[in-house]
Amino acid sequence: MTAEVRTVAAGELDRYADGIRDVYARAFAAPPWNEDPAQAHGYAERLARDALRPGFTAAVATAGGTPVGFATAWITPEVFPAERSYGPVAEALGPARTRAWLCGALEVNELAVAPEAHGTGIGAALLHAVTGPAPDGRCWLLTSVRAEAALRLYERVGWQRVAAPVPGAAALVVLLGPRHPQRAEAEAEAGDR
């Protein structure tokens, strides 16, 4: 599959809204996420709010004009949030590492590729597109350890798992981007465990 990947401004997202909602529904219906396709409508509403976050960036992959993937990211606030999965992440890393590794870094929030486009390089291209503006190369993401295909992609393109497991039933793991300056520190800690 040949696809075009391009970054899009927050104001352009409406143009791709139906396609993004469709990709989200199909990408996250499969294990380990098992989301009901109706949750894609909730994501579309959340995306409109997320687009207002400082440092928001998005990329869309299209094939024949139809979205087949997308990614979003933003700058993690200097005061680390407590809602959603942030609380357990802060608990796993502790305040010093959370502040040094994540606050002020670019956070990849969503990356989704339509099932028929898996294995085509679109996921890596989307990830690269949204992490390009990462301040000083500092970027991170959170995913499930059960998302084996996603983890293989992230690790293949140079992302590194942090050895601190995130508490909770979702079995989440933090990954640091390929140019993140604290990777060596995270690697050393992983070797100590």
Rounded Cα–Cα distance for residues 57 and 71 (Å)? 8
Q: What residues pair up with 144 in beta bridges, in sequence order? A: 172
Task: Give me the percent of the chain exceeding a pLDDT of 90.
Answer: 81
The whole-number pLDDT of residue 191 equals 65
**Per-residue model confidence (pLDDT) at position 24:** 96
Ranges under pLDDT 50 in the chain: none
What are 85-138's pLDDT values in tens digits? 999 999 999 999 999 999 999 999 999 999 999 999 999 999 999 999 898 999
For residue 181, whether the previous peptide bond is cis, meaning omega lies within 30 degrees of 0, is no
pLDDT for position 45: 87
- Mean pLDDT score across all residues of the chain: 93
Q: How far apart are CA 20 and CA 48, in angstroms?
A: 12
Q: pLDDT value at position 193?
A: 53
Q: Concatenated DSSP letters for 96-116?
A: HHIIIIITTSEEEEEEEE-GG
